[in-house]
Amino acid sequence: MNRPESHKHYVTKAEDKIPFKQKVFYGSGSFAEMSFQWLIINLAMPIFNAELGVDPILIGIVIGISRIWDSITDPVMGSISDNARTPFGRRRPFIASGAILAGLMFCGIWLFPREMSETGYFWYFLVATLIYYTCFTIFSVPFYAFGYEISPDYHERTRMMAVRIFSNSFNGVIFAPWVYWMIQRQFWDDTIQGIRFVGIGVGLLMLILALVPALMIKERVKTYVQKQKKVSVLKSVKSTLRCKPFLILVIAFLLTIFGNTLVSTLTFYPTVYYVFDGDKDLASIWYGFADATHHIATLIMIIPISMMSRRFGKRSACIFFTSFIVIGSILQIFSFNPDAPWMLIVPRAFLGVGWAGFWVLIPAMIADVVDYDEWNTGTRREGMFGAVHFWVVKLGFALGFFATGYVVNMTGFQIELGVDQPAHTFKTMILLKGLVPAISALISALILLRFAITEDKAYQIRADLEDRRGKV
């Protein structure tokens, strides 16, 4: 661990602290966001490849195209939200409408006709995901911006991002890992019937939870924002991408996400067809335990992350936690063992610790970058920074998912062979699963060393801004 970035530590003022009840309301939206964001991606290969026989390359193309579509819609939504002037604020109307649309669309995405051709399933999944992720963008971009601006304090921002990740991970313990298990239950006629009914239930539940922050949290009133000149999408994107501290953060995030996504689907195949000899029901249980372990580790680390951030600074703490991603990735090489399936859990604990630090601290640093940008440009643009940040994250997903189907095929895996794959197939999958994300995370840690907004600098910027335009 590097030495502390600042010699002086600041105490959060009472007026800057977010009441516990408000944090719970914000966490409700984060719980829903976790399912909205990841469940379709996690279920794509098990449903469309393993059950319907669609080529994994086609599935990867669908998910990749949907992520590229996000690269268009996210900045547009960020600009719309930043420029909005409504009686209910810049964020809440979009969070509410996006929650309703995304929840209903999640219900509908699994209602595909049976007995379609591979081409038919491809086009259905493509169109459905494009519509779905457009609805999710309407919810998510203003929701992320809401989190950045909910407090002006350096440390309270970290705590709010910790609330978001706590809620994500709580979902990851009690809910998300068990969706695949729920659709495999014997009381369904088959897996397809299972995903139809479970999908409707999940969509409606997430719709309700996502509405909570829009209905229960008031935005901070910023009179100076009401008077702020509206900025076009292209101009706002260009200005955002010129911000050096922001570029450092998003490039580090892009590399880590890409390395992880490129080999993400490789977990499913050796787990089901190598460790559990094709037993999907048993694999779904251990798959759930492994995912739950990841998120339990994240939950345990939420308070230590905030403590280490305060003691050593956000940058140093983030680099420290990134090292756990490297270690956990390498441990995956040794975790796929048919004689000891419990070993699947070990690397997930390390990865849960590492990703917890990454997902809490990078957004917390971006919230500080928003102040830095206003200090330099005079314009407040939480929505655009949130949009570009998650556009870059989704770009990492897009690039990874475009290639992931090719990676699966490159290993020699053939779904019709089941457990009887060529000898090298599972070995190649497992080796790639460990090395690729480890290398990308290591490079990201080196890039983060160049981030220069310390605690002292952040409080200095805030003081200058308050002298210029008053407190928020």
Interval 264-323: pLDDT, tens? 878 888 988 888 988 888 888 887 788 889 888 988 998 999 899 988 999 999 999 999
Instruction: Using the predicted structure, report yes or no on whether residue 222 has a pLDDT greater than 70.
Output: no
Give CA separation, 353 vs 31, 251, 299, in Å: 19, 21, 9
Closest CA to 25 of 215, 302, 303, 298: 215
Q: For the chain, how far is it from start to end, CA to CA, in angstroms?
A: 34
pLDDT band with cut points at 50, 70 and 90 for residue 3? very low
**Looking at residue 264, what is its pLDDT?**
84
Q: How confident is the model over 318-330, as a mean pLDDT?
A: 96
Residue 7 lies in a domain: no
Residue 6 lies in a domain: no
* CB neighbours of residue 87 within 10 Å: 5
Boundaries of domain holding 64: 17-469
Instruction: Using the predicted structure, report yes or no on whether residue 23 has a pLDDT greater than 70.
Output: yes
**Looking at residue 227, what is its pLDDT?**
57
| Tens-place pLDDT, residues 146-159 | 888 888 888 898 89
- Write down the mean pLDDT value for the chain: 88
Residue 8 lies in a domain: no
Identify the residue with better confidence: 177 or 248: 248
Query: Between vectors from CA 345 to CA 339 and to CA 348, what angle results, nearest 5°?
Result: 140
Residue 5 lies in a domain: no
Pairwise CA distance, residues 69 & 397, whole Å? 12
Instruction: Using the predicted structure, report yes or no on whether residue 359 has a pLDDT greater than 50.
Output: yes
**Looking at residue 228, what is its pLDDT?**
59
Query: Between vectors from CA 368 to CA 83 and to CA 296, what angle results, nearest 5°?
Result: 105
Closest CA to 88 of 206, 209, 217: 217
Identify the residue with better confidence: 388 or 118: 118
Residue 86 lies in a domain: yes
Residue 9 lies in a domain: no
Instruction: Using the predicted structure, report yes or no on whether residue 22 has a pLDDT greater than 90.
Output: yes
Residue 10 lies in a domain: no
CATH of the domain at 322: 1.20.1250.20
Instruction: Using the predicted structure, report yes or no on whether residue 73 has a pLDDT greater than 60.
Output: yes
Pairwise CA distance, residues 331 & 329, whole Å? 5
Structural tokens at position 417 = 């062979």
Identify the residue with better confidence: 129 or 79: 129
Pairwise CA distance, residues 312 & 362, whole Å? 15
Instruction: Using the predicted structure, report yes or no on whether residue 472 has a pLDDT greater than 80.
Output: no
Pairwise CA distance, residues 138 & 133, whole Å? 9
Identify the residue with better confidence: 179 or 291: 179
Give the number of C-alpha atoms closer than 13 A to the C-alpha of residue 53, restricted to the C-beta side: 9
* CB neighbours of residue 86 within 10 Å: 10
* Residue 24 CB contacts under 8 Å (≥ 6 apart), including other chains: none
Identify the residue with better confidence: 123 or 70: 123
**Looking at residue 410, what is its pLDDT?**
87
pLDDT band with cut points at 50, 70 and 90 for residue 348? very high
* CB neighbours of residue 229 within 10 Å: 7
The verdict on pTM exceeding 0.85 is no
CB 225 within 8 A of CB 380: yes
Residue 351 lies in a domain: yes
Instruction: Using the predicted structure, report yes or no on whether residue 333 has a pLDDT greater than 90.
Output: yes
Q: How confident is the model over 93-97, as a mean pLDDT?
A: 97
Q: How many domains does the chain have?
A: 1
Q: How confident is the model over 183-203, as a mean pLDDT?
A: 94
Identify the residue with better confidence: 408 or 1: 408
**Looking at residue 218, what is its pLDDT?**
84
